[in-house]
Structure 1
Amino acid sequence: MSAGPTRSEYDVVVVGAGPAGLAAAATAAGAGLSTLLLDENAGPGGQVWRAIDTTPVRAPDLLGRDYWAGAGLVAEARASGAEILQGATVWGLDRNLEVAVSIGGGSRFVTARRVVLATGALERPFPIPGWTLPGVLTAGAAQTLLKSSGLVPEGRTVLAGQGPLLWLLAAQILRLGGGIDLILDTAERANWRQAWRYAPGFLFTPYFAKGLALMREVRAKVRVVSGVTALSAEGDGRVERVAYTAGGRRETVPVDTLLLHQGVVPNVNLAMAAGVKHAWDPIQLCWAPVLDETLATSVPGIAIAGDGAGIGGAPAAVVRGRIAGLAAVEALAPTAVRRGPSMETLRVARDRAERGRRFLDLLFRPSRAFRIPDGDTVVCRCEEVTARDIRDAVAIGATGPNQLKAYRRAGMGPCQGRLCGLTVTELMAEARGMTPEEIGYYRLRPPVKPITLAELADMPQSESAVRAVVR
C-alpha cells in the first residue's frame, strides 16, 4: 500500500475533514493527543468549503465570505500536529474502535482510543419521475463542479426544490456568469403556519439577513414560480423538458440541465454500521444519532459531530467539532494544557449557533409528494427498483427495508442505501400504516463504501481483517 497512516494506533481518529472534523482534529491534536484525520476528498473543507485550497474561483464575493471563513480552520488543523490524510476512504468501524481505511490502492486498520465521526450530510433523495435521466443533477453536485473547477451549467437551466442551498447555488451560478432560466419553488405554503412561532428566534440570527439578501439577489434576475406541487423530468435519452404544476395549472418548459434540491440529511451509514443507536427525527424527517451533551453515542468511545449529528449548518458544525475534540481531551488527557474555550463556553456557543434552526426545518420541510413517490418512479437507482416494486413487495410480505432486499435488492448497490434509504423507509411505512421508527432502516455493515478486491488483498491478513468483511 502507498502512503497511509504512519502508525497503527492513535489517541483520536477523526473521519471527515469538513468544518466539524477540522475543528475536532485541531482541538484534540492541539492538546497533545496523537490525532489522525481521514478524508476521502482531494483536499480539506468538506462540501461547505470544498476545494478551498485549489478552487480557481478566487474573488471572495463570488462564492461568498462564508466560504472563505474556512481557510483559518484549515490552517489551524494543519498547524495543530494532526496527521491529515486526503483520498482516504473509511469503509468500516467497529465497537473496538478499529477503523478500516483504503488509501493509495490498499487497505489497512488503525485503532483509536476515541473516534469522532464528522461525515457530514447528504442531499435528501428527490425521487420524481425522470430524476435518473442524464442532465438531471443534484444542487450539491453542481456546487461541487462550481467550487472545484469554476464550472457553471450551459444552456437552458432550471433549479427545482427548496432550502437555503438552492438559493445559495443560484446566486453563485449567476455571479460566475451562468444563466438560470427558471426556479421552481416546491416549499409548501402551509409550512409557514408551523414555522411562524419560531420566527422571532430566527430573526436574530445571521441566517435571516443573509438568506433575505440571497433571495433578493436571485429574484432580481430569475423568474421564480412558487407553490409547485408536482414535478417531473422528461426526455428521450436525456432531460429535454420539465413539467410542473403550480396553482392547479400544469406547465412544461424546455431544459438542458435540471438541478434538484430539497434539503440535506445526516450521513448515517458509517455510524449505523458501527452499531450506534439512531432515532427518527419527526421534524427533519430523517434518522439522527442519539447523543449526549458531549456528542457521545451509544457506543463507548465514538462521538459524532457536525451535520452527521443532526443538520445545523457550518457554524454549528465547527462548535460541535470542538466539543467532541475537547471531550476526547478531557477523557484521555485531563491534565493536558488546553488552549481555547471551555466546555461550558462551547455549549453556549452551540446553542447560539443552532438558534433559529427549528424555523428553517419547518419552513423547508419537504412535502409528501416529493418524498414518497408512486408508480414507476425509480426509488433505488443502483438496482432500478421502482415505487411500485416496493409496494408490491409489501403486499406479498416484505416487512421492512432489510426484508425488501430479498424481494427487490433495494439498497444493495454501490451507494449502500444512501440515495434510497429514507425513501424506502417512508414508502414502506406508508404502505404498512406504520411509523418510520417502526419500519426501521437498512442493516448496515462494512464495507459501507465500495472497495476493490485488490484493496482487500493488500490488507494485513489478521483476524481483525477477516472479521471486518466476513461476519
Structure 2
Amino acid sequence: MTTTDLVIIGAGPAGMAAAVEARAAGLSVLVLDEAPAPGGQIYRGVEAANAARRTILGKDYVHGADLVAAFRACGATYKSGATVWNVSPEKVVDYSVGTGSLQVEAGAVLVATGAVERATPMKGWLLPGVTTAGAVQILLKASGVIEPDVVFVGSGPLLWLIASQMVAAGAPPKAIVETVPKGRTLAAAKHLPKALAASAYLAKGLQMMRAVKQAGVPIHRGAEGVAIEGESHVEAVTFTADGARQRIPTRHVALHQGVVPNQQVTRLLVCEHRYDESQRAFAPVVDADGATSVAGIYVAGDGAGIGGAKAAALAGRLAAMAIAARAGKAVSDAERTKVRTALDKDRAIRPLLEALYAPSAEALAPADDVVVCRCEEVTAGDVRAAARLGAPGPNQVKSYLRAGMGPCQGRVCGLVVAEIIAATRGQSVADVGYYRIRPPLKPLPLAELAALDAPVAAE
C-alpha cells in the first residue's frame, strides 16, 4: 500500500485548486478522478474544446482552462478514470482503475466530489427522452452535441445557463416551463441587499435571461401540475400556467430543480451532517477550513454546500492551506485571510438564489403512483405506506422496500424519500435523516475486491 500526504477525491474546481495550493506548500498529493480529464462538471472537456465551443459556453467556462493548466503543472499525481469505492476513518482510500483496485494511505483526505442534480420525480419522468438539464450540458461540453426540440422543466440558475448556451449555439430550446411559484420573487427580495456584494452574478443572470427571451423561447412561469406524456417515448409536456392547462408536444424533456451536495463519501465515513432548510438538502458539518467531525477528513466545494465554481476553488485553497499547516508546512496567514474574505464575498449571492429557486412543492411530494426509486421501482405511495406502518426513516424504508439499495445507493431517491417520510409522519427532514452508506460506493466486481492484498473495513 502506498502513502501520500494528501488524497483529493475529485478534480473539479475545488480539487484542482486544492492540489495546486498543497503542492506549493510542499505536500505530496494524489488526485483520484472518475472523469477521463480534469475539470469536473463545470469545466468538463475544457482542454479539448475548440474555439467555437468555448465561445458558446462562455468566458466563465474558458477560465477553467487556466485552472486545469495550473493543476497539470503543479506536480500532483493525477489518476483519471479512478473510482473511489471506499474510504476509512484511518484515511485509507480504496479505488478502482478498471484493471483492478489499489489502496493508498493518506495523511489527510479532501473530498471534492461536488454536487448532484436533485431528482424530479413526476408522471412520465422515466420515459425515454427525459434527462436532467445537466445531461444536456454534458452533451454540449463533451461532444458539442445539442439536444434538439428540448423543453426545460423546473427552475434554477443552471437551467438558464444551459438555455442561454443553446441560444449561443444557434439551437435554442423549444420552451422553458418554470416551476417557481408566484410570489416567490417578492419573498426572495429581502436578500437582495446582501446579494449586491456579488453583483456580477446578478448581472450575469439577467444577461442569460435576456438572451433566452430575445431568442423568442416561450417561457411559462408559475407552472403547476407538470406531467410528461408518452407511451414508449416522450410525446408532450402538460402543465397548468396562467389559469389554463397547456400542452407542448416534444420528444425531449430536461428536468431540473437545482443541485445538492454529494454526501456519499462523508456519509460512509459517518461524519456529522446537518440539514440545510434553505437548500432542502443534507451536507457535512465543516469548519471554516472544510474540516469535518472526523479527524483528517476535509470537504471543499459544493459537497459542503452549494456555492458554485469560484467559491469551490477558493474553498479548495483554504482546505489545502489548513492541511498544510496541520502537516507543519509554512502557510501565510495573510493569504488565508484574503482567500476567506473573497469566499465570503462570492457566497453573498446564495441566500437570494436559495430563496428564489428552492425546489417546488410538487418535486418534494410526488403523487402516490410516481416511482421515486428508479433502481428498485419503488413508488412514493409505497414509501408513504411504509411510513404509516411505522418506518421512522429512510433506512427502515430501505429494509422494507429496498429503496436506496440499487446501483445509485440513494443518490437519486435519498432526499425525496426523506421528504416523503417526514411529511407522512409530521416530522422534520432533519429528524428523519438519511440513508446509511456502506462500501462499495460504486458497483465493483467481486473478483476485484477479492484480489485486494489488504482487508477492507466494512464500517
- Normalised to the residue count of structure 1, the TM-score between the two structures is 0.94
Choose from 79, 86, 89 the match for 2:80.
Answer: 86
- Structure 1 regions of 5+ residues with no counterpart? 1-6
- Displacement after TM superposition at 1:57 (Å): 6.0
Q: Give aligned-pair identity as a percent.
A: 46
Are 2:163 and 2:172, in contact at CA under 8 Å, matched by a contact in 1?
no
From 378, 387, 400, give the equivalent of 1:385: 378
Residue of structure 2 equivalent to 1:101: 95
Q: Is the 8 A contact 2:53 2:144 kept in 1?
A: no
For structure 2, list consecutive stretches of 5 or more residues without a partner in the other structure: none
Structure-2 change in CA distance of 1:457 and 1:26 (3 Å): same
Alpha-carbon displacement from aligned partner over 1:75-134 (angstroms, at most 9, x marks no partner): 111211110111000111111011111113211211101111000000011111111110
User: Is the aligned partner of 1:366 residue 2:359?
Assistant: yes
> Which of the numbers 234, 239, 247 marks the counterpart of 2:242?
247
- Work out the CA distance in 1 between the residues paired with 2:31 and 2:187: 40
Q: Which residue does the alignment assign to 2:59?
A: 65
1:339 to partner: Cα distance:
8.0
Matches of 2:98 and 2:52, distance apart in 1: 30
Q: Which residue of 2 aligns with 1:201?
A: 194
Cα distance in 2 for partners of 1:265, 1:57 equals: 31
- State how far apart, in whole Å, the 2-side matches of 1:60 and 1:413 are: 37
Tell me the equivalent position of 2:427: 434
State the alpha-carbon separation in 1 of the partners of residues 187 and 327 from structure 2: 44
Q: Residues 291-330 of structure 1 correspond to what in structure 2 (within 5 A)?
A: 291-330=286-325
- The one of 138, 149, 163 equivalent to 1:170 is 163
Map 1:237-276; keep pairs closer than 5 Å.
Answer: 237-276=232-271
Residues 337-352 of structure 1 correspond to what in structure 2 (within 5 A)?
Answer: 342-352=335-345
Q: Does the alignment pair 1:224 with 2:225?
A: no
Counterpart AA for 2:281: C
Instruction: Give the whole-Å Cα distance in 1 for the aligned partners of 2:64 and 2:150.
Output: 29
| Equivalence for 1:120 | 114
Deviation at 1:58, TM superposition (A): 4.0
The alignment covers a number of residue pairs equal to: 457
| Aligned twin of 1:415 | 408
The question of 1:214 aligning with 2:208 is answered: yes
Return 191-200 or 422-431, whichever deviates more. 191-200
Contact 2:197 2:345 in 1 (8 A): no
Aligned partner of 2:231 in structure 1 is: 236
Quote the offset at 1:61 in angstroms: 2.3
What amino acid does structure 1 have at the position aligned with 2:440?
Answer: P
Equivalent pair of 2:25/2:329 in contact (CA under 8 Å): no
| RMSD of aligned alpha carbons | 1.5
Q: Secondary structure at the match of 2:38?
A: coil
